[in-house]
Amino acid sequence: MSRRGWALFLALSVIWGIPYLLIKVAVDGVHPSVVVFLRTLIGAALLLPIAAARGQLKPVLRRWRPLLLFTAVEITAPWLLLTEAERKVTSSFAGLLIAVVPLVGAVLALISVSSDRLSRDRLVGLLVGFAGVAALLGIDLHGAHGQALAAVFILLTAVGYALGPMVVARALSDVPPMGVIALALGINAVIYLPFALHDAPSRTPAANVVWSLIGLGVLCTAAAFLVFFALIAEVGPQRATVITYLNPAIAILLGVTLRGEKFTAGMAIGFPLVLLGCWLATGRRAAPQAVPEALVGDLEATYSGAVRGRDEELT
């Protein structure tokens, strides 16, 4: 992986390790549908005016079918499932279980026509990582009342997260990323508006809940998706999902230190396996295609140039 790829990888691993804590705080004060609505509304409010001013919406609207598919598999269903699940499980548990995403992505790559094929080393890494997830489920959920359904919700979320990058790489890689992100968030906000109105709290939530919702919208949504698209362009859709191997470190650290969540036996056994799987899944492979010198501009220019090369590789 290139230096730029590692920088994007680490940045997104940190950014997307934070939402689990913020979601856990938010659902203490508001319904999951309200959390998802406000998260997407804030993100859309920040990105739509910028995308519109730059003329980046029309090209995306011409791809409205894959746009709707991306919105559904990456945002609409997964975010509600994950948020609902965190009413029953800790933020640390949710963050660790999402580490199954690379394994789902590997299976999807095997049955697809993608050139981002699964190597033997990567397969070993993914299986080791999945063994860590299995340890988490087998130990921490043993005899735990009411958590099995939450685990299923998180696993379904992982399926959506694995599908999202593939939709981007195959059908949206040559359109402005700001337009894709802004429209997807806007569409989702419209979808959830009636549910959020129905489930709106009768009084103003506590300050920590409000700040968690703001953090979810600004940092973990608007900013995170910009980095996410750039990472897909740099390293490919399957390898991009390996960020979920480092997310648990942030989720556990924040959950244990800030919310007093227990560091369980399942985490103690599963987490090292997850880290080992990350190392195996990302190491000892051929370096990715060189990044053109023209890609040293701003984020938009970087993404636009990189995705053209990625799109040619995939087609």
Instruction: Spell out where 191-280 has E strands.
Output: none
pLDDT at 166 over 80: yes
Answer yes or no: are the C-beta atoms of 267 and 97 closer than 8 Å: no
Residue whose tokens read 């924040």: 254
Q: Is the pTM of this model over 0.85?
A: no
What number is the average pLDDT over the span 210-222? 94
User: Which segment, 94-98, 120-124, 302-306, is predicted with the most confidence on average?
Assistant: 94-98
φ/ψ bin of 205: left (φ > 0), alpha (ψ from -120 to 50), beta (otherwise): beta
State the Cα–Cα distance between residues 7 and 9, nearest whole angstrom: 5
pLDDT at 260 over 60: yes
Q: Quick one: pLDDT at residue 184? A: 95
Q: Quick one: pLDDT at residue 42? A: 96
Q: Quick one: pLDDT at residue 127? A: 83
User: Which segment, 145-149, 180-184, 263-267, is predicted with the most confidence on average?
Assistant: 180-184
What rounded mean pLDDT belongs to the chain? 81
Nearest alpha carbon to residue 4 among 247, 235, 279, 277: 235
> What is the band of 81 on the pLDDT scale with cuts at 50, 70, 90?
very high
pLDDT at 273 over 60: yes
